[in-house]
Amino acid sequence: MNIALIGFRGAGKTTIGKLLSRRLDKKLISTDDEIEKTTKMPIAKFVNEYGWKRFREVEADIIEYVSDFDDCIFDTGGGIIMRNENIVNLKKNALIVLLTADIGTVKNRLKNSRERPALTKNGNFLEEAKGVMQEREARYKNAADYTIDTSMMKAEEACDLIMHYVKMELQ
């Protein structure tokens, strides 16, 4: 069984994915890294040149491919839930854990990040993030088997919870 971490950027998917991968001795696959390998360019540049629609197509191809793997941790992009086929593919062989965080925590975690493309043409991070989070909220919740709010939680604590959920699923 795989574990797929979903959620908005800054919710802790990458940090928790790395720790979980080490703790469970499972391979970590970052879908964003796989997209960059496939397109041979940084995501921000790819989105700038080809747009979000083409990015989502490449992302769906990657998800379809990796969904056949086993015993992996998937650190997915924040918009993975924008295409239903991604969730259908992940659900074939993965426990889907939604990581959430309040807007202040997200802003704090992302304040020094320069490599992420803008989500809209708005330019105001706070307004942009709030709008996109609200737009995606129902999709995230519908896709998730479990949800963990990481706002006030250490990565180790989130890993403990995920490991508990995995044990419950395997019983």
Q: Give the orientation angle of helix 84-91 with respect to helix 125-143, to 10 degrees.
A: 50
Q: pLDDT for 134-152, tens place per residue?
A: 888 999 999 999 999 999 9
Q: Are strands 94-100 and 72-75 parallel, antiparallel or unpaired?
A: unpaired
What is the topology classification, in CATH, of domain 2-170? Answer: Rossmann fold (3.40.50)
Residue type, 112: N
pLDDT at position 117, please? 53
- End-to-end, the C-alpha distance of the chain in Å comes to 13
Contact, 28 vs 170, CB < 8 A?
A: no
d(CA 81, CA 144) in angstroms, rounded, equals 10
**pTM: predicted TM-score of the whole model, two decimal places:** 0.89
Strand, helix or coil for residue 157: helix
Residue ranges of the chain with per-residue pLDDT less than 50: none
pLDDT at position 149, please? 96
Name the residue ranges covered by the structural domains of the chain. Answer: 2-170
Contact, 3 vs 94, CB < 8 A?
A: yes
